[in-house]
Structure 1
Amino acid sequence: MCKAIAMMAEPTSTQAEPVTHGRRGASRARLMLPARTESFDGSYPCTLVDASQTGAQIASKSVPRTGSMMVVEIRGRDLEEMAGMPGLADKFGVVEFFGTVTWVRDGRFGIQFDEQVGYDLVVILRQIADVMDRSGTRWARERAREFVSGRN
């Protein structure tokens, strides 16, 4: 994880109480942000569908096997362009989530993070997703499609 946001990646006392029933231990934020996955099989564009402090759902044309180890990377430069937020790349840098694929289904898969990420980071990602949605949903979705399809 980049040093610029390392403090945000640490669990904080403001984090939500864990859910004690069901499969999920942390609530998820819907994101639809462009990202990349990197594993022993290669590097591929993807969309970060949602994320929590403990894991994420990812959509990609290249779907890994359950149990695969991988890194999910979000680049501030890509978000800055899509959200129209000058300076975001400098503040955000590159964020990496390391984890293991826990399920695969219909072009999507779930990854459980090796280490819990900070609640503040999940909130920031959601805020960026909200800005992108308000600043031009159609344009942002088209850029995400291009990113995932490799046309970018």
Structure 2
Amino acid sequence: MNRPSALLRKAYAPDDPIQVGRRGAPRLRLAIPAKLVSRYDTRRCILVDLSLTGAKVSLQDPLAKGEDALLQVGTLEPFGEVVRCQKGVHGGTVGLSFDPPLREADVLGVRAFAERYEEDEVRALRAEVRRWVTGV
């Protein structure tokens, strides 16, 4: 695995006192599948962004504000509370606040997982196109 750049390590330093807006930690923008496990059920979702302190996920039936949930993405399973819920016509998004916060290595691990996921999706699409073209 490639070593993270000094800038990336700095961006995810947990003891960095700089806060931008309401965010206590910079966000890693993503669009990868995940699962949100509540006390009552497990829901498939899309992990939209991730930081040391929380995440934003998009799902068909959002959890209510104040509910606890476990976010499953790759091998990571942080526990958090829904602190924001936005419902729309075709689903919605929830904001999770992690307790305890993630480690820098966890965020970097999800980044690596996302990169592998995208590469695997491209390979699978190419293989499907080859099968279609060759009639196999």
Aligned to 1:97: 78
Aligned to 1:72: 71
Q: Percent identity?
A: 31
Bigger share in helix: 1
In structure 1, what is the Cα distance between the partners aligned to 2:53 and 2:20? 15
Write out per-residue CA displacement over residues 75-100 of structure 1, whole angstroms, 9 at most, x where no aligned residue: x4xxxxxxxxxxxxxxxxx3211010
Aligned partner letter, 1:29 = L
TM-score w.r.t. the length of structure 2 is 0.69
Aligned partner letter, 1:70 = A
Matches within 5 A, 1:1-150: 15=13, 17-74=16-73, 76=74, 94-105=75-86, 106=88, 107-136=92-121
Aligned partner letter, 1:61 = Q
TM-score w.r.t. the length of structure 1 is 0.63
* 1:15/1:72 CA distance change after superposition, 3 Å: same
Aligned partner letter, 2:84 = W
In structure 2, what is the Cα distance between the partners aligned to 1:108 and 1:129? 20
Cα shift at 1:21: 4.3
Contact 1:52-1:122 within 8 A present in 2 as well: yes
Write out per-residue CA displacement over residues 98-137 of structure 1, whole angstroms, 9 at most, x where no aligned residue: 0100111131110000101111111121122233334545
CA-based RMSD of the aligned residues comes to 2.5
**Consecutive unaligned residues in structure 2, runs of 5 or more:** 1-8, 126-136
In structure 2, what is the Cα distance between the partners aligned to 1:127 and 1:134? 11
**Consecutive unaligned residues in structure 1, runs of 5 or more:** 1-11, 77-93, 141-152
Structure number with greater CO (CA < 8 Å, separation at least 6) is 1
Task: Give the structure with higher Rg (CA).
Answer: 2
Aligned partner letter, 1:104 = C
Q: What count of residue pairs does the alignment treat as equivalent?
A: 111
